């Protein structure tokens, strides 16, 4: 794949060509493509983010596929920089070990392992661990810290090589990456190849029901090609020799699904949670295009309301800043047309400070800039984290500033409204 972007004509899960546009979204640069001052002269292409539904199996997906070397060649997201995610991974790993009686010498392979945060908890249990992540800088970082990581994309060929070199895996995991490959069939075949006969595949994905209910635009970015439901996943996995036997909804990333699968014919019985969510999805009509089109209309209603407010505030001479140099913020800046209105963005992550936002090239400053430059309004771009951001920055409100958050509905928060937060 050498072109910057290619376009699918078939469903990524079932192969059907019955695809319908359900959520049109403004094209953006890759959400995490922040650049240094020295690279401001380089053009940054925008790529489509439109969401389509397969009318055959109900799967929601992006059809425009950005070259993975563009997205993952030098990734800047490190799992270990998010305390909430670290805690979640610790609890998640402990639950897997406890529920599935993972022995101390078992091999655990994590696909899209990032900096090895998830694997670290299995290693502490005594497991043998191996990470697979295509971002060379992150794979090197993890390996240097004791989590052996192969800087490669997961393929059936690599799976066979890993099995030959390390043996079959008791646990294969793929967290927030089981939606990041255009070749989902190859990913599922790789998992089946890696698994021991009694092994389990555990994965965490953004759940379409939460995306719709909570308007989780922060989960929509070019790396994230699939928006999963239990129904579409169950039939897809079965076609590739895997059986979904357990599912659990969790609150991480605004709303996610943790699934567990085994080779067909494996020793575990299917938990009631699978049928319960299948029934709820049918009730909520998640496989019907009209449901996603209504979601799109609601997003655009919030967009129009927020854009009009910020334009008015800007035209009145107020200084507007953004809070959170997050991937999801790039979509907000483009689809809501907010980029030209923000003077700067603040972020707690030192690796983002001194960088410039994708496309619009808005400077990213330390959070202290809220207190030094004193903008009248700070627009929360990482809106999933609105509550802790507001709680942690009462001083900004006390000095006369206001936060603006857009989901689940637009709200201007000042020192008079903070008791609600």
| Interval 50-96: pLDDT, tens | 999 999 999 999 999 999 878 876 566 677 667 778 998 999 999 99
In this predicted structure, the answer to whether residue 345 has a pLDDT above a threshold of 90 is yes
Query: Does position 260 have pLDDT exceeding 90, yes or no?
Result: yes
Q: Kindly report, residue by residue over 304-323, the tens digit of the pLDDT.
A: 999 999 999 999 999 999 99
What is the predicted pLDDT for the residue at 418?
58
| Mean per-residue pLDDT, 242-247 | 98
Mean pLDDT score of the chain, rounded to an integer? Answer: 93
List the helix and strand counts (H, then E) for the chain.
14, 19
Share of the chain above pLDDT 70, in %: 97
Specify the 3-state DSSP secondary structure of 129: strand
As a whole number of angstroms, the distance between CA 81 and CA 332 comes to 22
State pTM to two decimals.
0.91
Give dist(CA 418, CA 102) in Å, integer.
45
Instruction: Decide which of 3.30.470.20, 3.40.50.150, 3.40.640.10, 3.40.980.10 is the CATH code for 79-287.
Output: 3.40.50.150
* CA–CA separation, 36 and 355 (whole Å): 5
Domain with CATH 3.40.50.720 in the chain: 301-420
Q: Give the pLDDT confidence score for residue 251 in this predicted structure.
A: 85
The angle formed by the CA atoms of residues 364, 370 and 371, to the nearest 5 degrees, is 140
Residues 6 or more apart from 78 whose CB is under 8 A from it? 114, 115, 138, 141, 351
Predicted pLDDT at 71: 80
Q: List every span in the chain annotated with CATH 3.40.50.150.
A: 79-287
Q: What mean pLDDT do residues 113-137 have?
A: 94
The predicted structure's pLDDT at residue 255: 86
Beta-strand pair 128-132/149-150: parallel
The topology under which CATH files domain 301-420 is Rossmann fold (3.40.50)
């Amino acid at each position: 794949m050498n072109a910057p972007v290619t376009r699918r004509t078939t469903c990524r899960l079932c192969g059907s060509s019955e695809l319908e546009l359900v959520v049109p979204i403004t094209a953006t640069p890759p959400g995490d493509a922040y650049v240094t001052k020295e690279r401001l002269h380089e053009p940054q292409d925008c790529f489509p983010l439109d969401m389509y539904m397969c009318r055959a199996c109900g799967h929601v997906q992006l059809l425009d596929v950005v070259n993975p070397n563009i997205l993952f060649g030098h990734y800047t997201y490190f799992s270990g920089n998010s305390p909430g995610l670290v805690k979640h991974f610790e609890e998640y790993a402990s639950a897997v070990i406890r529920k599935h009686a993972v022995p101390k010498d078992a091999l655990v392979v994590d696909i899209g392992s990032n900096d090895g945060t998830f694997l670290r908890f299995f290693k502490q249990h005594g497991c043998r661990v191996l990470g697979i992540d295509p971002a060379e800088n992150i794979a090197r970082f993890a390996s240097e810290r004791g989590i052996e990581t192969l800087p490669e994309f997961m393929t059936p060929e690599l799976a066979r090589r890993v099995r030959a070199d390390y043996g079959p895996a008791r646990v294969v995991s793929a967290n927030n990456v089981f939606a990041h490959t255009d070749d989902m069939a190859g990913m599922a075949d790789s998992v089946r190849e890696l698994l021991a006969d009694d092994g389990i595949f555990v994965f965490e994905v953004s759940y379409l029901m939460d995306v719709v209910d909570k308007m989780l635009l922060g989960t929509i970015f070019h790396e994230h090609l699939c928006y999963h439901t239990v129904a579409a996943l169950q039939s897809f996995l079965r076609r590739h020799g895997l059986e979904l036997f357990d599912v659990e909804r969790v609150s991480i990333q605004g709303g996610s699904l943790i699934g567990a699968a085994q080779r067909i014919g494996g020793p575990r019985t299917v938990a009631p949670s699978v049928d319960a969510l299948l029934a709820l999805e049918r009730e909520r009509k998640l496989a019907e295009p009209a449901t996603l089109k209504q979601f799109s209309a609601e997003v655009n209603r919030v967009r129009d309301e927020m854009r009009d407010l910020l334009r008015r505030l800007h035209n009145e001479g107020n200084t507007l800043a953004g809070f959170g140099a997050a991937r999801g913020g790039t979509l907000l800046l483009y689809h809501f047309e907010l980029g030209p209105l923000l003077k700067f963005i603040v972020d707690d992550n030192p690796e983002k400070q001194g960088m410039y936002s994708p496309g619009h090239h808005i400077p990213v400053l330390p959070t202290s800039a809220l207190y030094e430059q004193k903008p009248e309004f700070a627009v929360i771009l990482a809106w999933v984290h609105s509550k802790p951001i507001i709680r942690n920055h009462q001083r900004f409100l006390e000095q006369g500033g206001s936060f603006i958050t857009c989901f689940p509905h637009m709200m201007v928060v000042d020192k008079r409204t903070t008791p609600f937060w």
